[in-house]
Amino acid sequence: MRIEVREEAIELGRLFEEKGYELALVGGAVRDLMLGRPVHDYDFTTSARPEEFEPILRAWGRDGFWDMGRKFGTLGALRRLPDGHDLSAEVTTYRSDEYEPDSRKPEVQYGDSLEGDLSRRDFTINCMALRLPSCELVDPFDGQADLDKGLLRTPVDPHQSFDDDPLRMMRAIRFVAQLGFDIEAETAEAIYDMAPRLEIVSAERVRDELTKLLLAKYPSDGIDELVDSGIADIVMPEIPALRMTVDPSHPHKDVYEHTLMVLDRAIALETDADGDVPRPDLTLRMAALLHDIGKPRTRKYEANGKVSFHHHDAVGAKMAAKRLRALRFDKELIADVYKLVDLHLRFHGYVEEPWTDSAVRRYVVDSGHLYSRLNRLTRADATTQNKRKARLFEEAMDEMEERVVELKEKEDLAQIRPELNGQQIMEILGIKPGPLVGKAYKHMLAVRLDEGEIGYDEAVRELQAWWDQIGSKEV
């Protein structure tokens, strides 16, 4: 197999060779080049120590240099390419790491050979290297054969590999989602045996792997592997809890199967780069994954023999936020996923009875910047096999979206505010800043949504009527 390597990478190999040092392209870059996937970040390993190869790398990377990984033997540089893309190169001295039993952070030891460096890597498909500038393939663990088979296998005993670095178990599953590969039987068995070892891994590292999995090409396959392996019980136990929780509105499937279907359908509704929900969209995908996690906790067996999940949307939203906080996701994503899960049932009432214009305005205002994502999540959640019900649902959603377009032509729904601001409310009612001002503002916003613009004088009368009936009693 001829592997096409960028001339700039070969040039770097020549520079190292001229100084008497070895340089090899390693890891995911080699794998992706062999798969015909685009590569913009190149990882190299070398026989030289950082202080020895730093001047070489600085000269090559004339568009940028960084040394945050110096204590691990890693330096990086940037080269701007003729086509306008950037080529990022990180070079690391041959490694031979040793792990402490209670930590996944290795004690860095420099190695003395390329083969030794490759032996410490996670999977055989990532244990291949191209010596530069010759482009000679080095494949001591038959990674090319596993690549051809679409197989994930560790280069050493998998129990030892995962004991050294438990995060490799999640990486294996992430590669299932990214590449569509299968995990070799012995490796899969070791993941099942050692899943609890992930408890020593930081939440941030688990979060990063989960994010990459959800943004991958086959995220549902990855989630399925997380659950089957027992890893989901450690990192996101709300998902395996969905198994065998039967939803009466979807009697042909349990909630777990329904969730994976919703995830796939939501992904299919993402747009191209210039659309309003460009793929891959982490917020939409996370909301699809978590939208029904409140069902096991709210399941109730009614007197008529049916099962209900009343308020699973509100309960699930709180559960989702709690789990995402534990995984150290950023506040903006947590807030957005919370709102999407909390609102994911809101539209269903429209199918039974079309809303008034005020109800449509309220839906748009309540969903805010998540309006397009909420509609996609709602559509994805309609998984009924009844063709008539499915058609009626789609027609209702289409109609509502058309009404929103018409309403937006008349006024900017995103900018709707009460006709009285907080300062005016305090002056009219003679009250000081505090919770009552917020309650009055909320009431006036509801009036604005329900009745449209009513004018200043009418707004003052409405506020005074509310105060006489409700507000003044709370003073």
- Confidence at 475, pLDDT banded by 50, 70, 90: low
Mark whether 262 and 399 lie in a shared domain.
yes
pLDDT number for residue 252: 47
> Domain boundary at 149, 169, 199, which?
149
Tokens in use for 295?
């069902």
Q: List, in sequence order, every beta strand (DSSP E) within 34-158.
A: 41-46, 65-66, 74-80, 86-93, 98-99, 106-107, 129-132, 136-138, 151-152
Q: What is the CATH number of the domain that holds 215?
A: 1.10.110.30
| DSSP state letters, 423-460 | HHHHHHHT--SSHHHHHHHHHHHHHHHHH----HHHHH
Mark whether 138 and 213 lie in a shared domain.
no
Mean pLDDT throughout 385-389?
A: 86
Mark whether 257 and 139 lie in a shared domain.
no
Mark whether 252 and 393 lie in a shared domain.
yes
Domain membership of residue 452 as a residue range: 417-474
Mean pLDDT throughout 171-186?
A: 96
Flag the least confident range among 168-182, 215-229, 377-391, 409-423. Answer: 409-423
The Cβ of residue 405 has, within 10 Å, a number of other Cβ atoms equal to 8
Backbone angles phi, psi at 254, to 5 degrees: -85, 175
Mark whether 222 and 308 lie in a shared domain.
no
Mark whether 201 and 283 lie in a shared domain.
no
pTM here is 0.84
- Per DSSP, the chain holds a count of helices (H) and strands (E) of 23, 13
Mark whether 79 and 155 lie in a shared domain.
no
Mean pLDDT throughout 169-191?
A: 97
Mark whether 276 and 379 lie in a shared domain.
yes
Domain count, the chain: 4
